[in-house]
Structure 1
Amino acid sequence: MADNKDISVLIVDDNDMTRETLRVILRHDGYNVIGEALDGDAALEMATRLKPDIILLDVVMPKVSGIEALKSIRMVMQDVFVLMVTASTDQEVVSEVVKSGISGYIIKPFNAKKVLDTVGNVVGKVRANRKQKPAQT
């Protein structure tokens, strides 16, 4: 198991099974899953309050879509790393989320290796960002 306790993750997906699967995969690899949200509104509230390092954000959700939530989150948190989780391979959807400044995406159905590889790709960036920021006092 990797030592990723210092990496906080927020999971946002309207599907209970998807959230549970992501939580189990991430916690098994030592990540600190600090919250879970069911929709874009809750995602924005939790992201602002919990300040995660990484957000796993579903694209298609009721009320507020992942794309809309991403835009709102970006307004208040420019340096959070967002990985979109989607079953869509529609080029228009993929293009829109890439333009919105995501750090990667996970295509459903996924397996543990794909999730951990994708999240692992941004962990180094998270830690590098921390070193660049002056310590908060």
Structure 2
Amino acid sequence: MKVLIVDDHPSFRSAARLLLEHEGFEVIGEAEDGASGLAAASELSPDVVLLDINLPDFDGFDVASRICLDHAAPKVVLTSSRDSREFGPLVGRSGAKGFVPKGELSAERICALL
């Protein structure tokens, strides 16, 4: 499964890449903000976009909504270091498949949402 990681923290992108590649995913790209994430999702055609909710330009809910407009869009999994209860129904409204806390990231958690 091909994954695009969109997060503004280079250390998280690096750790997520190592973890997901170790667990059998192919990380095909990284982006540091919403605009570059949207461009990379269009250019790279990933199967999954691991998308941080707190980005410097757009919030992850907006980016997920934009990605999910296309019927052939990749599946979006939102992530954050904050608790999912803080986001209420925003995860579902965004079109994302679900939410995985950064501290609990694993291929198994992502696959369970897909």
Greater C-alpha Rg:
1
Residue 40 of structure 1: how far off its partner (Å): 0.6
* 2:106 aligned counterpart, secondary structure: helix
Per the alignment, residue 35 of structure 1 pairs with 29
Normalising by the residue count of structure 1, what TM-score does the alignment of the two structures yield?
Answer: 0.74
2:57 to 35, 59, 63: 63
Mapped to 2, the partners of 1:57 and 1:23 lie a distance apart of: 13
Residue 78 of structure 1: how far off its partner (Å): 5.0
Residue 92 of structure 1: how far off its partner (Å): 5.2
> Structure 1 stretches (4+) deviating beyond 4 angstroms?
none
Residue 79 of structure 1: how far off its partner (Å): 4.0
Aligned length: 114
Per the alignment, residue 76 of structure 2 pairs with 82
Residue 37 of structure 1: how far off its partner (Å): 0.3
Mapped to 2, the partners of 1:77 and 1:22 lie a distance apart of: 27
* 2:103 aligned counterpart, secondary structure: coil
Which amino acid in structure 2 is aligned with residue 45 of structure 1? A
Task: Write out per-residue CA displacement over residues 30-49 of structure 1, whole angstroms, 9 at most, x where no aligned residue.
Answer: 21100000011011100011
Per the alignment, residue 91 of structure 2 pairs with 97
Show structure 1 runs of 5+ residues with no match. 1-6, 126-137
2:112 to 113, 116, 121: 121
Higher RCO (C-alpha under 8 Å, 6+ residues apart): 2
Mapped to 1, the partners of 2:72 and 2:64 lie a distance apart of: 10
Show structure 2 runs of 5+ residues with no match. none
- Between stretches 32-41 and 81-90, larger displacement belongs to 81-90
Contact 2:4–2:48 (CA under 8 A) maintained in structure 1: yes
Per the alignment, residue 18 of structure 1 pairs with 12
Contact 1:26–1:33 (CA under 8 A) maintained in structure 2: yes
Q: What do you get for the CA RMSD once the two structures are aligned? A: 1.8
